[in-house]
Amino acid sequence: MNLSKPSVNEQTEQQVLCPSHCNVSVAHSMHPPSAQPCLCSILLTFPGLLVRFLHPDLSPLLSALFTGLAILGASFLLTWACEAAQMDIPQAVAVAIVALIAVLPEYAVDMYFTWMAGKQPESAYSQYAIANMTGANRLLIGLGWSVIAIIFASRHHSTITLLEERRTDVLFLMLATVYALSIPIKGSLTWVDSLVFIGIYIWYIWIITHRPCEEEEPEGPAALLAQLPRSKRICATLGLFLFAALVILANAEPFCENLVASGKLLGVNEFLLVQWLAPIASEAPEFIVAIMFAMRGHAGLALGSLLSAKLNQWTLLVGMIPGVYGVSAGTFAHPIPMTAHQLQEIFLTAAQSLFAVALLLNLRLRVREAFILLILFLAQFTAPLYGQALESLLSLPHNPLRFHLLYSFVYLALAALWLLFQRKELWDLRRGFRV
């Protein structure tokens, strides 16, 4: 992603809409490109590769740290390779392909848990798969969106405004969210749900790929690739893609297993570690780049990127779980096992998503709305710390899902309130179907 952008006044005219990791603009670099970030990212991958292929006698904590850093470094490499790749393939193809490649880190971790759940249906792997998916989705909105808006407001005293084209992202995120609410109601996530979620994403991609995009001038590490002759640039970009993919796929298994083992070693709930720590390695590059955009006054670009990432995860990531589980188990007759806890996690994630969509109906995110998102996220995130004590204070029997339900209904009530007062904006959302 480009780290040096036009002025705030020029942003609206030059910003281009593409899926996650592909928000581009026509800009002129103010600083010569440096190879240092790329080299540092490559170096981050080496300890993880050594852990994966040499199997040194390390504690699960160190192994999880090294493999997590390897996935982090590979995620940055994918980001820069995605940007450079758009110079040499048709824009419509780039939009579809790059959107899939850029989310590989998050998918690799979740699909590993899902695959193992199919091989061992009675194990806790299915719980970990749902935990990682819901954690990644809630982090994007509760922490990512809110922090971007707060940083932008603190530095520029302004509200984030999205381009009109982002109405499509908001619309399809709403479609996926409304359908996701049916999962906890019917109590299962099946291959039929998979077809619906992936169908929503394909429909979204079809609209996006039929829109005109401007030419891009890569910046940062991607600019180094842009300076190469075309044949060498293609080889270098392909090499980065393959190397990053190898690192991510090679480290997914040891990272997941050592993360779970670390939880058992430390006496920490493995479900919570998988839910909140596992997404950090794959989401960190996107968060960091988005924060840098916001600090430089390009919060619309930053929020647009995280909006697309949320849409990708809430359609493709959720949609792939039944398929991968079915292939691993050898049958699609049985859905992935989910307890009441996992169903409630999906319900809470969908409720948060619906409230977030309601906030963006007018394509704006105000700082007070960002604070509401952040406060609610932190409240439900820390609920395990204060929940049981509060129940005892109120003389209530302990129910581990009590606060999940409470915050789910708070999100839904706030969403209904926002939708009621923005009926016109809700009706205008239909314009997101236009090419």
pLDDT in tens, 111-164: 999 999 999 988 999 999 999 999 999 999 999 999 999 999 988 878 999 989
Distance CA(43)–CA(66), nearest Å, equals 11
d(CA 293, CA 3): 7
CA distance 116 to 141: 28
pLDDT attached to residue 420: 94
pLDDT tens, 225-245?
778 888 888 888 888 888 988
For residues 108 and 102, give the distance between their C-alpha atoms in angstroms, rounded to a whole number. Answer: 11
pLDDT value of position 272 = 86
Q: Count Cβ neighbours within 10 Å for each residue of 359-369 and write b for 16 or more, e otherwise.
A: bbbbbbbebeb
Amino acid at 430: R
Domains along the chain with CATH numbers:
8-433 (1.20.1420.30)
Rounded CA gap, 40 and 38, in Å? 5
Beta strand segments in 228-385, E: 364-365
At residue 271, the pLDDT reads 87
Given a cut of 70, the residues of the chain with pLDDT beneath it are 1-34, 89-102, 213-220
CA 401 to each of CA 134, 138, 194, 391, 394: distance values in angstroms, whole numbers, following the listed order: 15, 17, 26, 12, 16
d(CA 255, CA 415) in angstroms, rounded, equals: 37
Q: Which helix (H) or strand (E) holds 16?
A: strand 15-16
Return the pLDDT at 385.
87
CA-to-CA distance for 402 and 386, rounded, in angstroms? Answer: 12
pLDDT of residue 87: 76
Among 85, 187, 140, which residue's Cα sits nearest to residue 302? 140
Q: Which helix (H) or strand (E) holds 216?
A: none
What is the percentage of the chain residues whose pLDDT exceeds 90? 49
Q: How far apart are CA 147 and CA 101, in angstroms?
A: 26
pLDDT score recorded for residue 192: 94
pLDDT of res. 98: 62
What pLDDT, on a 0 to 100 scale, did the predictor assign at position 86? 72
Query: Residue 70: what residue type?
Result: A
pLDDT of the residue at 17: 37
CA distance 66 to 145: 28
Give Cα separations from 122 to 117, 135, 259, 264, 318 (angstroms): 8, 22, 20, 18, 21
DSSP 318-359: HHHHHHHHHHHHT-SSSPPP--HHHHHHHHHHHHHHHHHHHH
pLDDT tens digits along 262-316: 888 888 888 888 898 888 777 777 787 788 788 888 888 889 888 988 998 899 9
